[in-house]
Amino acid sequence: MNPISDDTWLQEPPQPYNAAVDFIDGNIKAGRANKTAIIDDTGEHTYAQLATRVNQAGNALKALGCEPESRVAMIMHDSIDFPAVFWGAIKAGIVPVAINTLLTPEQYAHILGDSRAKVIVVSAPLLPTIQPLLNDLPLVKTVIVAGDPGAAVSLDSRLDDASTDLEAATTSSDDIAFWLYSSGSTGNPKGAPHLHRNIRATADLYGLPVLGIAEDDVVFSAAKLFFAYGLGNAMTFPLAVGATAVLMAERPTPDACMQRITEHDVSIFFGVPTLFGAMLADPEIAADKISTRLRRCVSAGEALPENIGNTWESRFPGVPILDGIGSTEMLHIFLSNHPDDYRYGTSGKPVPGYSARLVDELGNQVAAGEIGDLHVAGPSACQGYWNQRGKSLQTFLGPWTVTGDKYFVDDDGYYIYCGRGDDMFKVSGNWVSPFEVESALITHPGVLEAAVVPHDDGDGLLKPKAFVILNDGVDQTDADFDSIKNHVQGILSPWKYPRWIDYVSELPKTATGKIQRFKLRQS
């Protein structure tokens, strides 16, 4: 079996280490107290103000009964409150669980129950979604509301009233620092506990040497902080070097992103392929209108089509988009293009410090140029899935993590993405489970059966396409495209509705009745 190319991290015993001391207090020690750490919708915040807010958050959580090693759920829009609560918890030895702000009530109910959080911090606009779930969450003692000073338990006033001194909890590099949730094709999202050392590893292996982030950078990430991608982009990497991060609570539309990039002279911009595509579709978004400091872009979440990379670089000469693949389990990017070595249409090469292998169904390495399942090993992998023994055993094979992705390596060593082994796909960087969309489709009164597959939108990007069988006696005027589309939009997260519908009389199935979506993908 192919060995791990760099296994020094496997030999490292746990050390006394608290990531918040490193990433927050470290900047004060380095003399950056008066430097701007964060620019959010309310204004600029220095490193000293951030460090104070972090201490106050840690103290406020302790005062509300959060014990070290217990979880605090965060359902928060991006602002200084996010790093305050996240790092404040970590400094106090409490474990923040950063949760997607775009989920359905059912998904929140599952995650909040599964994480066993006793305290939830929620942004005020999301409180109406969470409030009705609390009856069925007996462990939850307190809901702290961010961004509403009048709330029963207001984050703002709790922080204002808390002490600005906080002694860091004694933790080790192998202690759990925080959790993220990862979604799969079937079943509920899975908790992915990450260790204190995992955060440092993403900065040391990708953020500094590959991305090349430096102290004078101003970064902006369209991906929000609750995504592992956004968390690295707009917290870990800028904090690792004392740079400045621009945070924005609203949805990352091309206009909203452009506004932040130009207004704050952003030098590194992190997006997803659909966003780069949408920005290119707008002729107003041009080199003479964008920040003159912009020097680098990163794309992740799904494969960046080659033509988007090429068109981008002809519009913005000298500003490449570096495509890289990361995952919630690995915390950040492990295969990447490099500023000095990139090829559009590929995910680049393994980030030094990570090992990659491509294997067949039997676990044997595939021959050169053949497609195989990508496994990756490196020091940022999570510790397994919480409360999911079977899925953990299937995903974490010794030091290797099974990514679920198919790749081949071209003659020059670049990794070329070939889709996933399961039926999951991404739209604008957000997961779509065909099963979930199908389940929503069949609740339409006219729909009997449905299958959903990814379909090329003409720009090399994927969108959901549905194949539906209508009930007897129902015709296409009773269940037309708009009626089905509106129905699904009313139930699911906004990116999940089908953009095309084919009406069919049967669906391809296996003997055991499983829909063969791969057959529909070809049509």
The nearest distance, CB 230 to ligand 3UK, in angstroms, is 8
Q: Which is nearer to ligand 3UK, 58 or 271 (by Cβ)?
A: 271
Residue 244 burial (C-beta neighbours within 10 Å; 0-12, 13-18, 19+): buried
Which residue, 455, 472, 452, 430, is CA-closest to 516?
Answer: 452
The nearest distance, CB 96 to ligand 3UK, in angstroms, is 16
Q: Which residue in the shown chain puts its C-beta closest to ligand 3UK?
A: 326
The nearest distance, CB 257 to ligand 3UK, in angstroms, is 17
CA triplet 353, 359, 364: central angle to 5 degrees?
Answer: 110
Enter the tokens of residue 133.
């779930």
Enter the tokens of residue 418.
């070939």
The nearest distance, CB 326 to ligand 3UK, in angstroms, is 3
Q: Which is nearer to ligand 3UK, 154 or 328 (by Cβ)?
A: 328
Q: Are 224 and 198 in contact (CB under 8 A)?
A: no
The nearest distance, CB 216 to ligand 3UK, in angstroms, is 24
Q: Which is nearer to ligand 3UK, 173 or 182 (by Cβ)?
A: 182
The nearest distance, CB 428 to ligand 3UK, in angstroms, is 11
Q: Which H helix or E strand runs over 376?
A: strand 372-377
Q: Which H helix or E strand runs over 372?
A: strand 372-377
Q: Which is nearer to ligand 3UK, 285 or 333 (by Cβ)?
A: 333
What is the secondary structure of 380-419 as a DSSP string?
A: T--S--TT-HHHHHHHEETTEEEEEEEEEE-TTS-EEEEE
Q: Which is nearer to ligand 3UK, 62 or 349 (by Cβ)?
A: 349
Q: Which is nearer to ligand 3UK, 115 or 347 (by Cβ)?
A: 347
Residues across the chain: 523
Enter the tokens of residue 176.
């759990």
The nearest distance, CB 470 to ligand 3UK, in angstroms, is 33
Go through 425-455 and write b for each residue having 16 or more CB atoms within 10 A of its CB, e for each that does not: bbbbbbbbbbbbbbebbeebebbebbbbbbb
Q: Which is nearer to ligand 3UK, 127 or 416 (by Cβ)?
A: 416
Task: Indicate left, alpha or beta for 387 from its phi (over 0: left) and psi (-120 to 50: alpha).
Answer: left
Contacts of 506 (CB under 8 A, 6+ apart): 469
The nearest distance, CB 124 to ligand 3UK, in angstroms, is 26
| C-alpha–C-alpha distance, residues 422 and 225, integer Å | 26
| C-alpha–C-alpha distance, residues 252 and 223, integer Å | 8
Q: Which is nearer to ligand 3UK, 36 or 100 (by Cβ)?
A: 100
The nearest distance, CB 125 to ligand 3UK, in angstroms, is 23
Residue 102 CA to its chain's centroid (Å) = 12
The nearest distance, CB 495 to ligand 3UK, in angstroms, is 13
- Expressed in angstroms, the distance from the first to the final Cα of the chain is 38
| C-alpha–C-alpha distance, residues 125 and 258, integer Å | 24
Provide the binding-site residues for ligand 3UK, judged by CB under 6 A. 182, 228-229, 300-303, 323-328, 332-333, 347, 403-405, 417, 420, 426
43 three-class SS = strand
Q: Which is nearer to ligand 3UK, 93 or 301 (by Cβ)?
A: 301
The nearest distance, CB 180 to ligand 3UK, in angstroms, is 8
The nearest distance, CB 330 to ligand 3UK, in angstroms, is 7
190 three-class SS = strand
| C-alpha–C-alpha distance, residues 196 and 112, integer Å | 22
Which residue, 413, 460, 437, 191, is CA-closest to 299?
Answer: 460
Q: Which is nearer to ligand 3UK, 319 or 374 (by Cβ)?
A: 374
Q: Which is nearer to ligand 3UK, 40 or 373 (by Cβ)?
A: 373
Q: Which is nearer to ligand 3UK, 17 or 227 (by Cβ)?
A: 227
Strand partners, 397: 400
Q: Which is nearer to ligand 3UK, 25 or 405 (by Cβ)?
A: 405
| C-alpha–C-alpha distance, residues 438 and 498, integer Å | 10
The nearest distance, CB 417 to ligand 3UK, in angstroms, is 4
